[in-house]
Structure 1
Amino acid sequence: MAIDLTALRSHFPSLDSGLAFFDGPGGTQTPRPVADAIAATLTGPLSNRGGVSPSERNAERAVTDFRAAYADLLNTPAQGIVHGRSATQLTYDFSRHLARTWQPGDEIVLSRLDHDANVRPWIQAAERAGATVRWIEIDPGTTELDLDSYERALSSRTRLVAVTAASNVLGTKPPVRRIADRAHEEGALVYVDGVHYAAHALVDVPALGADLFVCSPYKFLGPHCGVLAGSPEFLETLRPDKLLPSSDAVPERFEFGTLPYEVLAGASAAVDFLAALDPGAGTSRRERLAHSLDSLHAHEQVLRTRMEDGLRALGDAVTLHSKAAERTGTVLMTLEGRDAREAQAHLAARGVVAPAGSFYAYEPFTALKLEDPALRAGLAPYNTADDVDRLLDGLADFL
């Protein structure tokens, strides 16, 4: 298994700038086939969905293809794929849908590892319902979730467990299936933030044990939008507020207003692009995705090792906070006595894009007492060994 990096990189016009991008966790660069799909859909012919004119059928096809693509990517039925403006918007929407039945005395369990988009919506929904929030803590020595604290947080009153499949700052990948199984034993629902995870692994929503799973295509080469996956049977049990004339069918009942057909087309093209990275002999798109993402994982592991070894070679001036045994190719670091924003600017002047901040990870930064801002370097499919060396050389020069 191998990805042809030269061929891969040729599809990204932004790489012609000569920049080395390590800001993938905040959003990847866009390949031309994705942009072409967006432009082709926009320039149509295009109308609102229907089956009469070619322009109506083009819109309908964009929706159908989108659901089919994300059904293959996430291993869920197409009727369980919901489009949203962002993962944050979807989580806010579904926090309101789910909290309709919560009452005082009910409890929810959240994780200190999570991006605030999988924390604040649930806290605010719990406050309105009078429900209590419990926490899964982080082990500061390993930056993994403390599952003993999870056991203490769970009870027969737990209505929901919300947890990330991978931390957007530390890269930590918790044992989501183990967490989900225990939640289900207590009769609780499981909501999984897969925004960072889906950019680095083949997602299998049923295997994870997630009742609802959310991700963002712009983290894996697509346009800016969000996708939520769940079983159609479960989605049928939820009754959102909606316009009277709009469809009450699942999943349309959760999608408010006219869909952005061009964005859906771009998001579908991103899945096809991923499936073509190293498709192997697969006949189905799911099989091609599995082979390609295995190769991508191997590629990122090599680069992550090179990056972490190089950072450790810089000595005590660099502290690496990404320590979990299972983690993505994302590294969070602080620089002894130095401002990470100054490091970001120094790297940018050398054509290396690595952002500084806390990246909406309020809970991890607070729980681990991390210095804000910290510097984050995250790998994406188009990164090379030369990119990594440029990052290391730039940091060495800064220090």
Structure 2
Amino acid sequence: MTYDVDELRTHFPSLRSGVAHFDGPGGTQTPREVGEAIATVLTAPLSNRGTLAVSEANADAAVAAFRSACSDLLGVPAHGIVHGRSATQLTYDLSRAIAKDWRPGEEVVVSRLDHDANVRPWVQAAERAGLTLRWIDFDPATGELDEDSVGAALTPRTRLVALTAASNLIGTRPPVRAIADAAHAVGAQVWVDGVHYAAHGFVDVPALGADFFVCSPYKFLGPHCGVLAAAPDLLESLHPDKLLPSTEAVPERFELGTLPYEQLAGVAAAVDFLAGIADQNAPTRRERLRQAWAATEAHEVRLRERIQDGLRGLGDAVLVHSLAADRTPTLLLSLPGRRTADAARFLAARDVLAPAGSFYAYEPFRRLALDDDGGLRLGLAPYSTDDDVDRVLGGLRAFLS
């Protein structure tokens, strides 16, 4: 299939601003269809879920469409899909439910590569339950996960391994399936942070070996919320704290309070928009998503390689920390002798948005020994163009000169 980025961009009203967006890892721009879906559900007859009136049926339909869309996106049954306010909130909520069965002397494994949302909830849960914490490390010189530290971290006492499928800071995609297999071999569960991963490629949760997988639709053209995917029978084994009259049914037992039906409609619309990038003759939405992500990933990787070529021309004035063999189209830069925050402000004045900071990736930020100013992050998205690349490279050259 042909990837027509110019046609794709016509669906994004925000891109008329003229800003070249490299802030996708923090949240993408939103297509018109997503906003229209949100408005349609919110302004149509709408009540709590039920079957007595059209307003109740509309709410129920929004929930069903959300679960079906995320099922196709992630490769799990629809009743294994849980909505949450954010991936962070879902991780905190589920960590408390999962930790109810933990006992002192057992162990939890976390990674130095991860966003703090997949570190701190598990660190705190382990501390409360009296578990030992073990760490998986990565090599700051290459961005690759340290496989020796994986073997050293896993023992028969390991209860859970928390690992990112792609670093939001440097883009590294660790070998999740191999680590999941090793974790399962010692009887541990595997919690995968897929927030950055799901924004740049086709997701197959069972193939990853993840017991739990969280992602954030606002990283792939949708509204601000979180999604948890897991096998329904695994969710059945967990009993979160909840109100007495609220349902025990899965997945609703994890969704506290009334669902934001309009937000769910926006997520379903984002998935449909992504599927619409593909050949519409494909037999299923999941197959269309597979094709769409293949085309999108090829587009983003080509642009990433153009940026890398341009950065090499800047010599020692730029250090690139995104070096892993398998990585997303996200580049973290530092500028020796210069403040990346100053570079971000300089670029923003030229309508190029490339934020600087640590981006809540506290552990990898410290492991890379970056100063408090952080790094400059260039993240590509499906709507990124060659002109965007020219503008960010030109802006960096001007800043450094």
TM-score class, shorter: over 0.9
Deviation at 1:306, TM superposition (A): 0.2
Amino acid at match of 1:113: L
Instruction: State the match for 1:167 in structure 2.
Output: 167
Instruction: State the match for 1:324 in structure 2.
Output: 324
Amino acid at match of 2:298: A
Cα distance in 2 for residues equivalent to 1:78 and 1:321:
38
Deviation at 1:137, TM superposition (A): 0.5
Instruction: State the match for 1:271 in structure 2.
Output: 271
Contact conserved, 1:280 with 1:292, CA < 8 A, in 2? Answer: no
Instruction: State the match for 2:44 in structure 1.
Output: 44
Instruction: State the match for 1:378 in structure 2.
Output: 379
Residue pairs, 1:132-147, within 5 angstroms = 132-147=132-147
Instruction: State the match for 1:63 in structure 2.
Output: 63
Cα deviation per residue 1:112-154 (whole Å; 9 max; x = unaligned)? Answer: 0000000000000000000010000011221111010110111
* 2:130 matches 1:108: no
Instruction: State the match for 1:387 in structure 2.
Output: 388
Cα distance in 2 for residues equivalent to 1:387 and 1:183:
42
Instruction: State the match for 1:300 in structure 2.
Output: 300
Deviation at 1:281, TM superposition (A): 2.9
Cα distance in 1 for residues equivalent to 2:51 and 2:368:
55
Residue pairs, 1:56-135, within 5 angstroms = 56-135=56-135
Cα deviation per residue 1:255-280 (whole Å; 9 max; x = unaligned)? Answer: 00000000000011000011111235
* SS state at 1:213 partner: strand
Deviation at 1:368, TM superposition (A): 1.9
Amino acid at match of 1:73: L
Amino acid at match of 1:391: V
* SS state at 1:7 partner: helix
Cα distance in 1 for residues equivalent to 2:231 and 2:154:
24
Cα deviation per residue 1:336-355 (whole Å; 9 max; x = unaligned)? Answer: 11111110010001010000
Deviation at 1:99, TM superposition (A): 0.6
Cα distance in 2 for residues equivalent to 1:280 and 1:177:
31
Instruction: State the match for 1:344 in structure 2.
Output: 344
Deviation at 1:108, TM superposition (A): 0.6
Residue pairs, 1:206-285, within 5 angstroms = 206-279=206-279, 281-285=281-285
Name structure 1 gaps, 5 residues minimum.
Answer: none
Contact conserved, 1:23 with 1:353, CA < 8 A, in 2? Answer: yes
Amino acid at match of 1:79: H
Instruction: State the match for 1:354 in structure 2.
Output: 354
Cα distance in 2 for residues equivalent to 1:175 and 1:281:
33
Deviation at 1:44, TM superposition (A): 1.1
* SS state at 1:110 partner: strand
Instruction: State the match for 1:286 in structure 2.
Output: 286
Contact conserved, 1:280 with 1:291, CA < 8 A, in 2? Answer: no
Cα distance in 2 for residues equivalent to 1:389 and 1:84:
38
Cα distance in 1 for residues equivalent to 2:187 and 2:311:
45
Deviation at 1:3, TM superposition (A): 1.6
Instruction: State the match for 2:365 in structure 1.
Output: 365
Residue pairs, 1:164-203, within 5 angstroms = 164-203=164-203
Contact conserved, 1:20 with 1:352, CA < 8 A, in 2? Answer: yes
Cα deviation per residue 1:191-220 (whole Å; 9 max; x = unaligned)? Answer: 000000000010000000000000000000
* SS state at 1:214 partner: strand
Cα distance in 2 for residues equivalent to 1:343 and 1:366:
21
Residue pairs, 1:22-33, within 5 angstroms = 22-33=22-33
State the identity %: 67
Cα distance in 1 for residues equivalent to 2:53 and 2:341:
53
Cα distance in 2 for residues equivalent to 1:216 and 1:106:
30
* SS state at 2:101 partner: coil
* SS state at 2:110 partner: strand
Q: What TM-score results when the alignment is normalised by the length of structure 2?
A: 0.99
Contact conserved, 1:12 with 1:32, CA < 8 A, in 2? Answer: yes
Deviation at 1:283, TM superposition (A): 1.5
Cα distance in 1 for residues equivalent to 2:6 and 2:286:
24
Cα deviation per residue 1:43-74 (whole Å; 9 max; x = unaligned)? Answer: 01111111110110000000000000000000
Cα distance in 2 for residues equivalent to 1:180 and 1:322:
24
Contact conserved, 1:12 with 1:30, CA < 8 A, in 2? Answer: yes
Q: What TM-score results when the alignment is normalised by the length of structure 1?
A: 0.99
